[in-house]
Amino acid sequence: MLNSLDIKNYRNLKHLRVNSLGRVNLFTGRNNTGKSTILEAVAIYATSADLGFIYQLLSERGENFKSITDSTKNSLDSTIKSISSLFTDRLVGFEKEDAISIGSVENTLFGIETSIENSLSIRFVKYIEDVLRDEQNSVVSRRRILIDMEQEQLQSNYKVGLETRIGSKSYISPIEDERSSYQIGSRAFDKDNTVQYIRTRNIDRDINGKLWDKITLTEKEQYVIEALKIIEPSTERIAFIEENSRIRTPVIKLANSLSVFPLRSMGDGINRVLTIILALVNSDNGYLLIDEFENGLHYSVQSQLWNIIFNLAKILNVQVFVTTHSEDCIYGFENVLNSSIESGGGMLIRLENEDGKIKQVEFRPDELKIATNLNIETR
């Protein structure tokens, strides 16, 4: 679990440092202050900067130029253009100070510094391949060796790649062709973290059926049922049925009826709750990211949903990152955060854009309660 967050050179976050995080963290602020950007950064951190995930992220933003590039154009150029959109000012730099850095901070003899052990960095690099062959000319080993500016003048066959570094370990991913960009990823790192990322429009995610299958016949089924009762108190059971070979849809059985109803017919609220809770119970020992929590949810149910999120996050050891524009969402968050010592802890962080520089204001539980009671703006 991240106890702080330090982000450098990622999109509009030239350098943002959040000194304290809780188990459940709510980010607020006006448009273009980096709320969704923080969720992306945490997701990249949790997936060890897997290139497959990064390209999916770029595609959803319409910035995967590789997928729309004409075959006659330079594939490497389009790949670099795509990946450079992750960097502040779309900078294609090859120095260490140009790297994206995502992680936590620690106290050192020199003050508060970025934690090397608990941080991830990504940067463009130039490298050569050192290939060792046996007597039959078969490849025995292959190494990728970084080169500096002086060596570049002497090497005509260097390549461009991405260096991903976690702690003392690093790995160079080639980006010259389709295969390397989508399949290799950061295979040198063990991906112990689980991350579920619910985007703004995900009222009913396509993967919900698969997430349900993972918890079938476990106690987590009841967690989901209890959450749905926030919207429909008579919820008894749910299941996923196949509409065709590629689409599965949720259906619901109510206690006062013999019929089974499509969940989609019951409105956005209950489908949003299902999406959030399925993601949460499939994030054990990992991260749950929710963009614009309030989408599809009436203000009257938000406190109840926050209560479930706080409790399950503690039980399942999940760290939650959420964004919102809603005052009702903030009120529900504060109410649950300060109503029980068993909540597991939380923080509200308001982001502000001051002349293009993103800054944060951190509210601990007692500070948030005061701000809410005095109607101090926290959105």
Task: Report the DSSP pairing between strands 159-166 and 235-242.
Answer: unpaired
Residue-wise DSSP of 141-198: EEEEEE--HHHHHH-SS-EEEEEEEETTEEEEEE-SSHHIIIIISSTTS-----EEEE
Look at residue 344 in the predicted model and tell me its pLDDT.
Answer: 61
Instruction: Count, in order, helices (H) and strands (E) of the chain.
Output: 11, 16
Residue with tokens 């690093």: 170
Look at residue 349 in the predicted model and tell me its pLDDT.
Answer: 96
Q: What is the pLDDT along the chain (379 residues), one digit of tens a residue?
A: 899 999 999 999 999 999 999 999 999 999 999 999 999 999 999 999 998 899 999 999 889 886 555 554 567 888 999 999 999 999 999 999 999 999 999 887 777 778 888 899 999 999 988 888 777 878 777 788 888 776 766 677 788 999 999 988 999 988 875 444 333 333 444 555 689 999 988 888 989 999 999 999 999 999 999 999 999 999 999 999 987 767 889 999 999 898 999 999 999 999 999 999 999 999 999 999 999 999 999 999 999 999 999 999 999 999 999 999 999 999 999 999 998 655 568 999 999 999 889 999 999 888 888 888 767 778 7
Q: Which fold has domain 195-373?
A: Rossmann fold (3.40.50)
| Domain ranges, ordered by start, for the chain | 48-182, 195-373
* Residue type at position 139: V
Look at residue 61 in the predicted model and tell me its pLDDT.
Answer: 87
Task: State which H helix or E strand residue 16 sits in.
Answer: strand 13-18
Residue 221 in tokens: 């089924």
